Structure 1
Amino acid sequence: MRPQSLTSTLLSASRLYTTTASSTCRATLAFPPSHLLKTCAPLTTTTTTTTRPFSASPARSKLVSPQAETTASKQQIRIPTPSTPVAAMAANSATLIEAFKARRSFYQLNKELPIPKDKVTSIVQENLIQVPSSFNSQSNRVLVLYGAEHDKLWDITSEVLKPLVPAESWDATAGRNAGFKAAPAPCSSSSTPPSTAMLQFATWTTLEAEGLGANLQHYNPLIDERVAAEWGIPAHWQLTAQLVFGGKAGEAGPKDHLPLTETFKVAGA
């Protein structure tokens, strides 16, 4: 499929945390993002007798009782069973970890999306629905900006920052903002901290699984008032981050990790 050339911006936000879930988030998806992970092994059909040991697998929940063996027919029961469930579980966790590894900061982006704009929207909607929140408060909110609306966000950001940045540093700041503007979309989110962080991570990972690049920015709270006024954001939404994503125009830089001896402990093993 020919890449789609467009400009877009994705801002995510959410209502401030309250002790009750006063609103319910609903979204209509064009189609679910079923392309990301294969989490289930295919079922195979085998022929066995009713003497098969009891299993907690849902696929076997309708086995006949042992008394059925005493019937005259002694008929065999065809029972679908998952193939190599332990191996399948290992493969699924490995697939997830590989997706986590692929989530990197790509700063060289362009407007050539490898997937249609509607698919980007549906992926973000699905993440918004599925990411958990404290006490199911459903506090995350998302604003998606495409085309000229995306460009407008970075023009606003430059206008806000220019009076605050020393003149000798402005060229570097302006260049950085121009790089963000060259990409199709940023995503920002606001909510209780653990929930918004999970939404950012989920969106970042799933979009990169589709071949997009992304980087996370934090121009809040400097741009909060202008963004709220421009796009009619409710006063109880709080901006927390902007996930800029688009087509990859370069590679991610190297990434170092602290040794696990400094970051990880285990007890009782």
Structure 2
Amino acid sequence: MKTTYLDILKQRRSIYNLGKNVTLPKSDIDQLIESAIRESPTAFNNQSTRAVILYGEKHDQLWDIVANRLKSEVPTEKVYAGTKHKIDTFKAGFGTILYFTDQNVVADFEKQAPLYATNFPSWAEQALGGAQQSVWTALAENEIGANLQHYNPLIDGEARIAFDIPANWVLRAEMPFGSIEAPAAAKTYMKDDERFRELK
């Protein structure tokens, strides 16, 4: 049995101690991300997933938007200090991928295949998850750490303006990435007999 893919998959972890010490050129990272998304499956091959890759000042700007937006959401300065520290760990990374679903694609396929219309929104989410998994694993294979965040919809409006996002692209997640400055903690697993069934 070949296990190369599984070995690589095990490298994909939520890395929260990110840095900017990435040696892979940005052009290679772009190609890696774009290829992983391009090759990820979508329902009816509708290709509903979109992505924006931020580096440098744009990357910093995103996390400044998050920090400023959350300041009005948390109850006290003490709580905000902890929140700001967490956001700073994302800002410390090398870049961020913004993941979107193109709602025009979803709506078009609802019309084209009315029998399955109610399924297309959830299928778009499944496609997005598959793309994120592919990108995350490809980054891990290249020794680039990442984690997945969900500050949408709080930041949607400001992000749309700041990064010139089309109105039909709906933000679904943010993935900061960078050099791995500290490894992830040991991963725990639930018991297999509580999770899997094999009927033979």
Same fold flag (TM > 0.5): yes
Aligned length: 177
Give matches, 1:82-231, under 5 Å. Answer: 90-91=1-2, 94-167=3-76, 168-191=78-101, 192-231=124-163
Deviation for aligned residue 1:146? 1.1
Q: Which amino acid aligns with 1:166?
A: P
Tell me if the contact between 1:114 and 1:210 (Cα under 8 Å) persists in the aligned partners.
no
Secondary structure of 2:166's match? coil
Deviation for aligned residue 1:161? 0.6
1:252 corresponding residue in structure 2: 184
Highest CA radius of gyration, 1 or 2? 1
Tell me if the contact between 2:97 and 2:176 (Cα under 8 Å) persists in the aligned partners.
yes
Deviation for aligned residue 1:231? 1.1
2:171 corresponding residue in structure 1: 239
Tell me if the contact between 1:142 and 1:188 (Cα under 8 Å) persists in the aligned partners.
yes
Secondary structure of 2:4's match? helix
1:49 corresponding residue in structure 2: none
Q: Deviations over 1:184-241 (max 9, x none)?
A: 1122323311000001100000001001111111101110111111111111101111
Q: Which amino acid aligns with 2:43?
A: S
Q: Root-mean-square deviation (CA), in Å?
A: 0.9
Structure 1 stretches lacking a partner, 5+ long: 1-89
CA distance in 2 between counterparts of 1:149 and 1:243 reads: 14
Give runs of ≥4 in structure 1 deviating > 2 Å.
none
CA distance in 1 between counterparts of 2:100 and 2:195 reads: 28
Deviation for aligned residue 1:128? 2.0
Secondary structure of 2:165's match? coil
CA distance in 2 between counterparts of 1:152 and 1:187 reads: 13
Deviation for aligned residue 1:114? 3.2
Structure 2 stretches lacking a partner, 5+ long: 102-123
2:110 corresponding residue in structure 1: none
CA distance in 2 between counterparts of 1:245 and 1:109 reads: 7
CA distance in 2 between counterparts of 1:229 and 1:251 reads: 35
Deviation for aligned residue 1:266? 1.2
Tell me if the contact between 1:114 and 1:211 (Cα under 8 Å) persists in the aligned partners.
no
TM-score when scaled to structure 2? 0.86
Q: Percent identity?
A: 34
Tell me if the contact between 2:15 and 2:184 (Cα under 8 Å) persists in the aligned partners.
yes
Secondary structure of 1:114's match? coil
Secondary structure of 1:239's match? strand
Secondary structure of 1:190's match? strand
Q: Which amino acid aligns with 2:146?
A: A
CA distance in 2 between counterparts of 1:128 and 1:214 reads: 16
Deviation for aligned residue 1:166? 1.5
